[in-house]
């Protein structure tokens, strides 16, 4: 029971904090941190796409930056070249990311483990080099800038992401919705199929699951998550650049996920928060902040191989056991 | 036209031999420790930087040829003991750990060596005519050294006690331990040897490329390609694939720009992964 109360308390505390951010943060420090938290939310969705594949289906993708980049370029090119307004551009970015995920997934999910990790990075490298060389269209490493269209317009009332508070709540709403969707998928029969494949793909196929199709569905869903985060990041930065498609971006997503806790719903959020907050705090004082990031990644896998959320779950489990010793009947209903 | 094709094909071949050396290190680490080493490109980069430092400290280029692999071996052995051993060959964790390692190595080099790329003068100057092209002598020399190192490493694996241990542990760890082979020590030595091979490749390549703290970033995907196309754990296959890939890229570069060459080899690699995941050369070498 203690565990229940603690977890509900933490969840409510985090939710209250996230809602209060636009008023709380300027009162405590300065507005800069509102934009950092916005960025954390966006990147945590990117990490969630790594987590959906690795944590729930057992496929370690090292190429999620490709779908992030497609979401980003979908938005930027949609606005800049096709003259789309906000929502069509958003949809175009997500749709192109999912289409790309479908096309590459058809090939990639045939492979497993090392081969899967490597083919995903190869696909992302192919399109990275294409994006770098197609400079007139993509702007290469310099990227392309665009000006933001308004999100809603009712008569003379205009809501646009240029207002930092509106931008924050827009990102928070979209990210929360995506996490909620992911939660629903994981707890659906489809999600159970994912877990069965993660734990033993041979056994999953023997009980009649179509491993290939399920993996492909997961891959496209992960493409959706990465695409949404890329599209949001394009709106957030008002630009798109090929450099976000490089394999090091994918690698960061993997690191955030594993350090936060793969296979847990909020692990990616925790990992992303940790690394971005450290980057922002340290980089303003010391230019060699990568040293700390690298050290932290190593320490995390040595001392918390299941990630920070995994560590937390371990503590909670011990609380449960202690409770069980006091009143065995109470824990029967608790989720293990 | 014919001259450029020849020149770039030669460049590709020589670069391929150096890459083969680095990829061999990656393959050895992967095959024995089951570690996906994201930091391997940086091991190469550390080699180029060590060569630069030993040249500027002693004024003698050749000391770098000894210093880079020796220091590389020591750093590798220490890394294995501190970072790799505690994670027990869990491949997913090894990606995170070596990613962290890559950041640390790059940052240390940026602090000590600086962020500006530098060029190193080759110790052997001059060109010789070769198939009607004036070719830099140092490149030919580098190819020869790389080849000798490759042959030397294979001889080491086949004919020394340590090499036999390495092959035995890789083949069947349980039995090897039962026969009294100190597997833990073999792991340390293997990781050190993998680092040494990459660092030696770096020292050899330093006058050909630029010395830069981000120099490993481009090399890493290339090495992975060689390891995959050659077949995971197939050492001679890795070497052949590295040479083949670089040679092909050189050829394509003579008619198109380098990016197109890089994209074609990536497409080739996807095809190999999908059609022959056991590698291009299985059946030829065994």
ipTM given for this complex: 0.84
CA A179 to chain B, closest CA, distance in angstroms equals 24
pLDDT at A279 over 90: no
Percent of chain B whose predicted confidence (pLDDT) is above 90: 34
Q: Which of A51, A287, A291 to mutate: most B Cβ within 10 Å?
A: A291
> Cα–Cα distance between A277 and A298 in angstroms, integer?
18
pLDDT at B242 over 60: yes
A54 CB near a chain B CB, below 8 Å?
yes
Tokens 């008569």 identify what position?
A: A155
Helix locations, chain B, DSSP H:
2-33, 40-58, 62-79, 91-112, 137-159, 161-171, 173-178, 183-205, 216-230, 235-253, 258-275
Please give the structure tokens belonging to residue B111: 């602090």
Q: Which residues between 224 and 263 in chain B have a beta carbon less than 8 angstroms from any beta carbon of chain A?
A: 224-225, 228, 232, 257, 259-260, 262-263
- B101 contacts A295? CB cut-off 8 A: no
pLDDT-derived band at B152 (thresholds 50, 70, 90) equals very high
Percent of chain A whose predicted confidence (pLDDT) is above 70: 97
pLDDT-derived band at A97 (thresholds 50, 70, 90) equals very high
- Nearest residue of A to residue B110, measured between CA atoms: A288
> Nearest Cβ partner of B97 from A110, A290, A301?
A301
Tokens 């294979």 identify what position?
A: B154
pLDDT at B55 over 50: yes
C-alpha distances in angstroms, A291 versus A243, A287, A335? Answer: 21, 10, 40
- A125 contacts B221? CB cut-off 8 A: yes
pLDDT-derived band at A214 (thresholds 50, 70, 90) equals very high
Query: Which structural domain range is residue A326 located in?
Result: 2-333
pLDDT-derived band at B286 (thresholds 50, 70, 90) equals very low
Q: Please tell me whether the overall predicted TM-score, pTM, comes out greater than 0.90 for this model.
A: no
Three-state DSSP class for residue A91: helix
Average pLDDT, chain A: 89
C-alpha distances in angstroms, B226 versus A216, A246, B137, B195, B236? Answer: 27, 20, 26, 17, 11
pLDDT on residue A329: 53
Tokens 């919705």 identify what position?
A: A177
Q: Which residues pair with B135 in a beta bridge?
A: B128
- Nearest residue of A to residue B279, measured between CA atoms: A115
Average pLDDT over residues B197-213: 92
- B224 contacts A121? CB cut-off 8 A: yes
A290 CB near a chain B CB, below 8 Å?
yes
- B93 contacts A301? CB cut-off 8 A: yes
> Cα–Cα distance between A67 and A102 in angstroms, integer?
10
Three-state DSSP class for residue B133: strand
pLDDT-derived band at B217 (thresholds 50, 70, 90) equals confident
Average pLDDT, chain B: 86
Domains and CATH numbers, chain B: 2-116+126-275 (1.10.3470)
pLDDT-derived band at A187 (thresholds 50, 70, 90) equals very high
C-alpha distances in angstroms, B200 versus A49, B19, B109, B146, B153? Answer: 39, 11, 17, 9, 12
Number of domains, chain A: 1
b/e per residue B232-266 (b: at least 16 CB within 10 A): bbbbbbbbbbbbbbbbbbbbbbbeeeeebbbbbbb
Give the start-end residues of each E strand in A2-113: none
Of the two residues B7 and A47, the one the predictor is more confident about is: A47
Average pLDDT over residues A98-118: 89
> Cα–Cα distance between B246 and B240 in angstroms, integer?
10
Q: Residue A70's domain is classified under what CATH number?
A: 1.10.3470
> Cα–Cα distance between B217 and A133 in angstroms, integer?
18
């Amino acid at each position: 029971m203690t565990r229940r109360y603690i977890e509900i308390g933490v969840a409510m505390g985090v939710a209250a904090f996230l809602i209060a951010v636009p008023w709380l943060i300027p009162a405590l420090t300065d507005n800069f941190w509102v934009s950092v938290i916005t960025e954390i939310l966006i990147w945590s969705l990117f990490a969630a796409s790594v987590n959906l594949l690795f944590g729930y289906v057992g496929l370690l993708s090292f190429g999620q930056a490709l779908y992030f980049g497609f979401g980003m370029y979908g938005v930027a090119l949609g606005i800049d070249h096709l003259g789309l307004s906000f929502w069509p551009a958003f949809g175009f970015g997500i749709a192109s990311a999912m289409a790309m995920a479908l096309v590459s997934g058809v090939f990639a999910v045939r492979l497993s483990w090392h081969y899967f990790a490597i083919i995903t990075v190869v696909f992302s490298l192919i399109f990275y080099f294409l994006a770098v060389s197609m400079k007139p269209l993509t702007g290469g490493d310099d990227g392309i800038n665009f000006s933001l269209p308004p999100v809603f317009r009712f008569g003379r009332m205009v809501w646009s992401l240029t207002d930092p508070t509106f931008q924050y709540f827009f990102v928070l709403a979209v990210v929360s919705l995506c996490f909620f969707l992911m939660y629903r998928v994981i707890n659906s029969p489809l999600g159970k199929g994912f877990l069965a494949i993660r734990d033993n793909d041979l056994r999953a196929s023997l009980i009649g699951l179509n491993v290939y199709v399920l993996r492909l569905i997961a891959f496209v869903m992960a493409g959706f998550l990465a695409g949404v985060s890329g599209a949001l990041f394009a709106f957030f930065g008002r630009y798109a650049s090929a450099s976000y498609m490089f394999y090091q971006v994918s690698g960061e997503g993997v690191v955030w996920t594993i350090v936060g806790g793969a296979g847990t719903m909020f692990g990616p959020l925790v990992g992303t928060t940790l690394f971005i907050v450290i980057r922002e705090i340290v980089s303003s004082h010391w230019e060699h902040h990568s040293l700390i990031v690298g050290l932290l990644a190593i320490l995390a896998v040595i001392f918390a191989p299941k990630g920070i959320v995994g560590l937390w779950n371990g503590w909670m489990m011990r609380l449960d056991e202690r409770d069980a010793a006091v009143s065995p009947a109470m824990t029967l209903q608790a989720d293990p | 036209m014919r001259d450029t094709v020849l020149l770039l094909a030669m460049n590709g071949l020589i670069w391929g031999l150096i890459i083969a050396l680095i990829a061999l290190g990656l393959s050895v680490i992967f095959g024995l420790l089951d570690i996906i080493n994201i930091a391997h490109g940086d091991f190469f980069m550390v080699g180029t930087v060590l060569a630069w430092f030993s040249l500027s400290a002693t004024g003698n280029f050749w000391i770098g040829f000894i210093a880079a692999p020796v220091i590389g071996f020591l750093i590798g052995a220490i890394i294995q003991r501190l970072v790799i051993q505690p994670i027990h060959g869990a491949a997913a964790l090894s990606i995170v750990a070596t990613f962290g390692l890559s950041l640390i190595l790059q940052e240390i080099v940026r602090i000590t060596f600086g962020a500006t790329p530098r060029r190193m003068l080759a110790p052997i100057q001059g060109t010789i005519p070769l198939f009607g092209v004036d070719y830099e002598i140092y490149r030919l020399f580098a190819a020869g050294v790389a080849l000798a190192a490759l042959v030397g490493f294979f001889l080491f694996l086949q004919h020394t006690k340590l090499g036999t241990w390495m092959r035995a542990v890789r083949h069947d760890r349980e039995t090897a331990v039962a026969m009294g082979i100190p597997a833990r020590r073999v792991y340390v030595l293997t990781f050190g040897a993998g680092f040494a091979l990459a660092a030696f490749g770096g020292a050899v390549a330093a006058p050909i490329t630029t010395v830069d703290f981000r120099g490993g970033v481009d090399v890493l995907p290339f090495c992975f390609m060689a390891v995959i196309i050659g077949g995971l754990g197939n050492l001679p296959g890795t070497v052949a694939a590295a040479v083949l890939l670089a040679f092909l890229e050189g050829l394509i570069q003579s008619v198109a720009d380098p990016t197109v060459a890089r994209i074609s080899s990536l497409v080739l690699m996807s095809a190999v992964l999908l059609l022959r995941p056991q590698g291009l050369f299985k059946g030829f070498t065994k």
